[in-house]
Amino acid sequence: MFITYASIFYVTYFDDRWMADRVALCVAWVYLLAIPFYLFFNVRVTGFYIEDMDAIAYTLNPEIEDWFRRIDAFTNCMPSLHIAVPFAIWLTFRKHDHDGRWNRFQNMTLGYIILTAFAIIYLGIHWFVDIIGGMILATFAVNLMEKTNDPVWKFFDERTINSRLATLLTRPAHSASLLFGRIKNYARTWLKPTSKETGTFIVVIMILTAAVITWDLTHNELPAEGVQSAQGAVASEGWLATMDNQSGEAIVLIHDVADPLSNPTTVAQPLMQFDSPYALFENYLVMANDSQLRVIDVDTPNAVLLQQDVTGIQSLQMTSLQGRPVVLYIANDALHAVNIEGQDVQVPTLPNSETIHLMSVSGIEILLVSEEQPDTLRIGTIGTSGSLNIIMNASTTEEQNLELEEWGQTVDDNNASIEQVSFDSQHIAVRMNVSALDRMVIYDRSTGEQWLGFDPIYPVGNLSMGYGYVVWEAKDHYNPLSFTDKYGDWEIHQLHLATNYSEQLTSDTIDQVNPIALEGGLAYIEVEDDGEVTINVLTRGTELATYSSIVLQLSVLLLIALTFIYIMQRQDEVQSKNIIHDNALESE
């Protein structure tokens, strides 16, 4: 930014309009050419990929880290504008400084480029190839500047804008007539188009197609139909079950994740409250109220597979053992399990008669947390009684804890407690309370390493793990001392475990909560300002909607024809120029 402002204002101060116009337009072209790369070809900064690299440009202290995370998506590496902007300015001076008056400034700019190239590599901001990309982009920008300089400044010259504006205000009829005449003359050129008009049409089609695809890829969440006011949701293997508030009644609805716009189906449920537990496993749904447990198959939602009278159910999960569905539940502070025939199944027990606080199930493994040791995970296997212990740690640096205390939030790392667990065969994601807020901790089961999965000074809410991703709700950048609506609501984030790549999926001023990891996407609850609650299904990846696919197909076919026409026109125009040139030589 320094070199951008300095270059323009420096030459303007010395009244060199010739150079100021070209530098300003060249910088504008650099930014315009970079937009497609940042929209469609995202590259993360090196500090997020290279192991043991300390990206001190972003993490020198909590204040700097917070500031960068507010303004930078960390996905705009290629090409490097740190190089493209000053290199384009240097090329412009080198090409258009005919009398050498700016030689010293050129040399200073070249030194600045070399210093910047070293800094962006050393600080973990860019890759080496980003520098090459920036230089190539700058070269294109300079070429475009030369072609567009005269027409652009003919229109935007501040010395003539006022006179044209005065004419528009004092003689509107004359201005309208003049504008209509120019449009009419321009329209005539399209009756007999040359390669110039064909090339313009090609560029317009490409821009419009890119705009449609960009809109589709950035608006790929669909609301689940038939939901009046969602109170919660669970998902498994392509099915989504929601607890809906329908005129004060708690109704469980089943949705097909592959087609969220289709109407949901109701099930043979017991009389339930909005806080009644329910769970999905494959195509099986288990529900419970104060006195009854019921299992149904979502393919036949009105048929009850299992019904038992059970009181005091606090938590409910479902899995399978040897290919048969198994229901696990906590009732009266004790863990129980039954199969689909209603027979008891052996489950792990806690030592010293500890009280179970929560559980989580994945396959035949079960994680338990007790009231007596709230920071310890007990890993057991269904069908056995033993368990292994993992002590989770949600502590962070003293500097970050002091920052929270300055905000009036006291941190108690020593008495941290696990509030939620989600896991698979490779990783465990845990939400831990440290008094001031909840933090997310990721545990690698193959190496035994654990780390904080999100900035420890900002609160984390519900989380879910599945299909190689962790999704969670958080209040990123939330500061209670300088509250703003933009950072005061819950937003959805996701982490790709294989690459350790994290990103924020929503950004607005309304709450998105209770995210659930799905195959190929996720589901979450959205709460509008007026209290309206919807379930949204967000597709992960680059699958285009039908309308975008049609637009893309039509534009490709049209571009093939137009490209052929453009090439033929260019050849004919070159031949015509050669004939005219030859005739001129013969006449001499």
Mean pLDDT of 569-577: 84
**Span between the terminal Cα atoms of the chain, in Å:** 56
CB–CB of 472/457 below 8 Å? no
- Residue 69: pLDDT band by 50, 70, 90 thresholds? low
Q: Does residue 361 surpass a pLDDT of 70? A: yes
Tell me the mean pLDDT in the region 476-505: 83
Give pLDDT, residue 521.
85
Q: Which region among 327-336, 432-441, 501-510 has the lowest average model confidence (pLDDT)?
A: 501-510
Per-residue confidence band for 543, with pLDDT thresholds at 50, 70 and 90 = low
- Res 308 pLDDT > 70: yes
Q: CA 403, CA 119: separation in Å to the nearest integer?
A: 29
Helix H or strand E encompassing 95: helix 81-96
* pLDDT value of position 540: 73
C-alpha distances (whole Å) from 581 to each of 195, 480, 570 are: 20, 75, 16
User: pLDDT tens across 210-249, in order?
Assistant: 888 877 766 655 555 445 566 778 888 778 888 888 888 8
Mean pLDDT of the chain: 84
* Closest to 564 in 3D by CA, of 198, 204, 192, 203: 198
Task: Assess whether pLDDT exceeds 90 at residue 260.
Answer: no
Return the pLDDT at 35. Answer: 85
Question: Could you tell me where the DSSP H helices lie in 97-240?
Answer: 103-122, 128-156, 158-170, 172-191, 195-218
Structure tokens that stand for 446 in this block: 């193959």
- Give tens-digit pLDDT for 165-198: 777 788 888 778 888 888 888 778 777 888 888 8
pLDDT for 4 equals: 74
Residue spans of the domains in the chain: they are 2-156, 193-220+546-588, 312-539
State what percent of residues in the chain have pLDDT above 70: 89
Residue 374 has pLDDT above 70, yes or no: yes
Six-digit token string for 546? 């039908």
Residue 549 CA to residue 565 CA, distance in Å, equals 25
Q: Which CATH superfamily is domain 312-539 in?
A: YVTN repeat-like/Quinoprotein amine dehydrogenase (2.130.10.10)
Beta-strand relationship, 324-331 and 313-321: antiparallel
DSSP 8-state assignment for residue 61 = S
User: Is pLDDT above 90 for 383?
Assistant: no
Distance CA 402, CA 413 (A): 13
DSSP H/E element including 567: helix 546-587
Question: With bands split at pLDDT 50, 70 and 90, how would you rate the model's confidence at 502?
Answer: confident
Give the residue from 270, 228, 259, 273 showing the smallest Cα distance to 285. 270
Q: What span, in angstroms and rounded, lies between the C-alpha atoms of 309 and 102? A: 89
Q: Dihedral through CA 423, CA 426, CA 431, CA 432, nearest 10?
A: 120
Among 103-112, 243-252, 413-422, 532-541, the minimum mean pLDDT is found in 532-541
Give the burial string for 113-152 (b: 16+ CB within 10 Å, else e). beebbeebbebbbbbeebbebbbebbeebbebbeeebeeb
pTM for the whole thing?
Answer: 0.69
pLDDT score of 542: 60
Is the pLDDT at 27 greater than 80? The verdict is yes
Question: What average pLDDT does range 383-388 have in this prediction?
Answer: 81
77 vs 116: which has the higher pLDDT? 116
* pLDDT at residue 395 in the model: 92
- How would you list the strands of the sheet with 365-370, edge to edge? 356-362, 365-370, 376-381, 387-391
Give per-residue pLDDT as tens, 108-138: 999 999 999 998 888 778 888 888 999 999 9
d(CA 385, CA 349): 6
How remote is the C-alpha of 535 from its chain's centroid?
A: 19
Q: Is the predicted pLDDT of residue 142 greater than 90, yes or no?
A: yes
Structure confidence at residue 47 (pLDDT): 61
Q: How confident is the model at residue 585 (pLDDT cuts 50, 70, 90)?
A: low
Length of the chain: 588
Instruction: Tell me the helix, strand and coil percentages in the chain, rounded to 5.
Output: 40, 30, 30
Cis bond upstream, residue 36 (ω within 30): no
Residue 82 contacts by C-beta under 8 Å, 6 or more apart in sequence?
A: 116, 117, 120, 125, 126, 134
> What mean pLDDT is predicted for residues 532-542?
77
pLDDT at 63: 65
Give the pair of three-digit tokens for residue 203: 């560029």
132 or 332, greater pLDDT: 132
